[in-house]
Amino acid sequence: MNHKTDAGYYTGYPKDLGPSRVIHFTSERNFVDLLHEGLPVVVAFTIRSNYTEHLDKVLEEAAAEFYPHVKFMRVANQGRVADPNITKYNVKVMPFNYDVSPYGFREIFKRYGIRTSDTK
């Protein structure tokens, strides 16, 4: 249930986002399958810090907002960096120098012409 005033304005948290839309990294195959869907993928590498809880909330809100046109994946354990069994893939990486918030994601998606959930 979204908390709105009689005038219809959103008043803030708590916000019901429904089921989590953030995909948890489980394997290289899981990631490759996601890339093959052809949709933009936001990959967040999270490490334990004071900022992690805030980033998790941002990811959950942004993933709900941009579903199903943009996929958000959380990688909490990077594993071995130089694993010889991992195939290298060529992907387009866009620099992200915006505010880490749903607003920041909206801005970069707009700049690169990426469709969001509310785009018809």
Asked whether residue 9 is assigned to any structural domain, the reply reads no
- Whole-model pTM? 0.70
The per-residue DSSP string of 3-71 comes to -B-TT--B--SS----S--EEEP--HHHHHHHHHTTS-EEEEE--SSTTHHHHHHHHHHHHHHHTTTSE
Q: What is the pLDDT along the chain (120 residues), one digit of tens a residue?
A: 445 444 555 445 556 888 999 998 888 888 888 888 888 888 887 777 888 888 888 999 999 989 998 999 988 765 555 556 666 666 677 777 888 888 888 888 888 888 766 544
| Peptide linkage before 102 cis (omega within 30 of 0) | no
Asked whether residue 54 is assigned to any structural domain, the reply reads yes
Asked whether residue 8 is assigned to any structural domain, the reply reads no
Question: Helix, strand or coil for residue 72?
Answer: strand
* Count of domains for the chain: 1
Residues 6+ apart with CB under 8 A from 54: none
Q: Which domain holds residue 46?
A: 17-78+97-120
What is the CATH classification number for the domain harbouring 102? 3.40.30.10
For the four alpha carbons of 53, 59, 60 and 62, in that order, the dihedral sign comes to positive
Asked whether residue 35 is assigned to any structural domain, the reply reads yes
Asked whether residue 88 is assigned to any structural domain, the reply reads no
Asked whether residue 86 is assigned to any structural domain, the reply reads no
Asked whether residue 7 is assigned to any structural domain, the reply reads no
Asked whether residue 83 is assigned to any structural domain, the reply reads no
